[in-house]
Amino acid sequence: MRRFLTPSDIGDLNQALKEAAEVKKNPYAHQHLGKNKTAVLIFFNSSLRTRLSTQKAATNLGMNVIVLDINKDGWQLETETGVIMDGDKPEHIREAVPVIGQYCDIIGVRSFARFENKEEDYSEKILNQFIELSGRPVISMESATRHPLQAFADLVTIEEHRSDKRPKVVLTWAPHPKALPQAVPNSFVEWMKVADVDLTVTHPKGYELAPEFMEGVHVEYDQKKAFEGADFIYAKSWASFSEYGKVLSTDRSWTVNEEKMALTNNAKFMHCLPVRRNMVVTDGVIESPDSIVIQEAANRVVSAQTVLKRMLESL
């Protein structure tokens, strides 16, 4: 396994879920795999869960871990090619990445969409340079268009809380004061499409996700109608794709509240966190017994460890 970005990178999903359950049951069973192996985790953006859970996962596997907040601890990187480097960026990404590869066996990268140029973001310019130039297996720890460790953890969490019936899973847009990337909803849709679930996406007009993710996905613009009979409600805010990076609405009639949750089939509430209370979801819903956001965050260790284990096995 040389990269982790999409569900196809992990192969058979049922096998991956089985492996994840084993990893969760016995987290220290594969410490021999990581002996004398090093993971470098590079952050271009802030993190709480991804940083701690991936570090914990690598440690559980016996690895050494180096975490680099590149904006604070490294040289500012030039990412454009062909430029005269007479500005404030002293190092080019095309040297930095192969150098990082010299010091480790596996690389994790977090690099969000910048919302300056849709084509540049959706071509995964930064992540792809790590894949191309590092000489090491690369894990996306949330890139411009995807957050696969989150989506895999979400799927593990749904598997743990579902009944035998094929669950109705609803991804709902929610209001937020800032423009947030589409990586989480893109990956959530991408993973749910290949999982054994019945997926509905609901959002106001103008918040349609990129067509390459949405082919064949049921969209319901009436949020209350979408919630009817749902087994899982997954809330997330994202900025517009068509009017790229713009906040078109902060309409709090889209906030997930108790009244809307009452329309569901006693649905579990999910969110990747961090979440803005009483914008995205009310205090009452996130603190209810049906909220599984903490269990979901806990499964971030499980998804990261399953992926790292696969990569170590294929070194």
Residue list for the binding site = 47-50, 75, 110, 142, 147-150, 176, 236, 272-273, 276, 300
Interface with ligand CP (CB under 6 A), residue from 1, 192, 272, 308: 272
Cα–Cα distances (Å) from 308 to 23, 166, 253, in that order, read: 11, 29, 41
Give the residue at shortest CB distance from ligand CP. Answer: 50
Can you state the angle between helices 49-60 and 293-313, rounded to 10 degrees? 50
The window from 42-50, 98-106, 114-122, 275-283 that contacts ligand CP (CB under 6 A) reads 42-50
Does residue 310 bind ligand CP (CB under 6 A)?
A: no
Which residues neighbour 22 within 8 Å (Cβ) at sequence distance 6 or greater? 29
Cβ atoms of 187 and 147 closer than 8 Å: yes
Q: Is the peptide bond before 148 cis (omega within 30 degrees of 0)?
A: no
Task: For Cα atoms 175, 292, 207, give the angle at the middle one, nearest 5 degrees.
Answer: 25
* Cβ-based nearer residue to ligand CP, 272 or 311: 272
Q: Which residues are annotated as a binding site for N(2)-succinyl-L-ornithine?
A: 142, 176, 236, 276
Interface with ligand CP (CB under 6 A), residue from 30, 37, 49, 236: 49
- Phi then psi for residue 19, to 5 deg, are -65, -40
Does residue 48 bind ligand CP (CB under 6 A)?
A: yes
Give the 3-state secondary structure of residue 201.
Answer: strand
Q: Rounded to an integer, what distance in angstroms lies between the CA atom of residue 248 and that of residue 251?
A: 9
Window 86-145: residues binding ligand CP (CB under 6 A): 142
Does residue 294 bind ligand CP (CB under 6 A)?
A: no
Task: For Cα atoms 240, 242, 243, give the angle at the middle one, nearest 5 degrees.
Answer: 65
Q: How far is the CB of 154 from ligand CP (least distance, A)?
A: 10
Q: How far is the CB of 300 from ligand CP (least distance, A)?
A: 7
Cβ atoms of 281 and 275 closer than 8 Å: yes
Does residue 150 bind ligand CP (CB under 6 A)?
A: yes
Does residue 295 bind ligand CP (CB under 6 A)?
A: no
Does residue 50 bind ligand CP (CB under 6 A)?
A: yes
The window from 18-26, 34-42, 266-274, 277-285 that contacts ligand CP (CB under 6 A) reads 266-274
Does residue 37 bind ligand CP (CB under 6 A)?
A: no
Q: Rounded to an integer, what distance in angstroms lies between the CA atom of residue 59 and that of residue 283?
A: 34
Q: Rounded to an integer, what distance in angstroms lies between the CA atom of residue 310 and that of residue 149?
A: 13
Q: How far is the CB of 107 from ligand CP (least distance, A)?
A: 17
Window 180-199: residues binding ligand CP (CB under 6 A): none
Cβ atoms of 219 and 201 closer than 8 Å: yes
* Cβ-based nearer residue to ligand CP, 78 or 181: 181
Binding residues for ligand CP, rule: CB under 6 A, are 47-50, 142, 150, 272-274
